[in-house]
Amino acid sequence: MTRGLFDLTGQVALVTGASRGLGQHFGRALAKAGADLVVTSRNPEALAPFVAEIEALGRRAVPLQLDVREQDSIMQMAAAAESACGQIHILVNNAGCNVRKPALDVTWDDWNLVLETNLRGSFFVAQQLAQSMIAHRYGRIINIGSVTSVFGYAGLAPYGASRGGVRQLTMSLADDWGKHGITVNCLAPGWFRTEQNKVLYDNQEWLDYLIDRIPLKRPGQAHDLDGAIVFLASESSRYITGQTLLVDGGISTGATRATVQPPAARP
């Protein structure tokens, strides 16, 4: 039976960094579209409530341990995922971290933590899972970027470098693996409240400034990403690869449009 354009029934999606936040939301959206899940975290016990939630939707969810900074962990996770579920059709490279500091205060260890997690980890997880995708001549790889994949912000030098790298990585892998039936795209959320940036959202002056710069006049809400993640994972995007899809309320169109003055000192 031919699946509908947005139907993921019979597909298995692997989501890294799925113990909280947008990683869980991506997994939830894919499960509601019909996919079974492999969900990963450095702490697999933290995945238990989410696994129960997905199973209550009638989908399967397999929790696995993964530290994207460790090559052995990536290899063991991939082997366990394929042993448990067979073919992995969809990869959502979501695991990430941030260090928010002025550039002069960034340490060697800060830089390595962010780049090894966000950029190196995304590449080697994709590389490992692509081997099976190539053998099956099918795959959907969705790298999670950010509005910082395209624009620079003070205090985010390592993060912006990593997310900009993810965008470039996406284009390279799309060119490398397209001949094998694999699409590789980057989903780049704008300003969404997460554990990484909640300190900013607690500053009302900063929040007012942000909202004034967004044409749709509000920060993103997690459900605003549902359509994009399902689109990039499904047959509806089968002729789209190497692209960065900004889901940002339009902030990327109007960065100089603000009428509210920026806070005197941003966190």
Categorize the per-residue pLDDT at 1 as very low, low, confident or very high, splitting at 50, 70 and 90.
very low
Q: What percent of the chain has pLDDT above 70?
A: 93
pLDDT surpassing 70 at residue 257: no
- The answer, yes or no, to whether residue 260 has pLDDT greater than 70, is no
List, in order, residues 6 or more apart from 27 with CB less than 8 Å away. 13, 15, 18, 37, 39, 50, 54, 61, 92
- Over 60: is that where the pLDDT of 26 sits? yes
Q: Would you state the pLDDT for residue 258?
A: 58
Q: What pLDDT shows up at residue 266?
A: 46
pLDDT of residue 267: 38
Domains of the chain: 12-194+220-253 (3.40.50.720)
Q: pLDDT tens digit string along 36-79? A: 999 999 999 999 999 999 999 999 999 999 999 999 999 999 99
Per-chain mean pLDDT for the chain? 93
Closest by Cα among 134, 236, 218, 131 to 182: 134
DSSP 8-state secondary structure symbol assigned to residue 147 = G
Assign 86 to helix, strand or coil: coil
Q: What is the pLDDT of residue 256?
A: 54
Q: Mind listing the pLDDT tens digit for each residue in 51-60?
A: 999 999 999 9
Q: Kindly state the DSSP code that residue 29 receives in the 8-state scheme.
A: H
Which residue reads 């960034």 in tokens?
106
Provide the annotated active-site residues.
159
Task: Provide the sign of the torsion angle of the four alpha carbons 194, 65, 130, 232, taken in this order.
Answer: negative
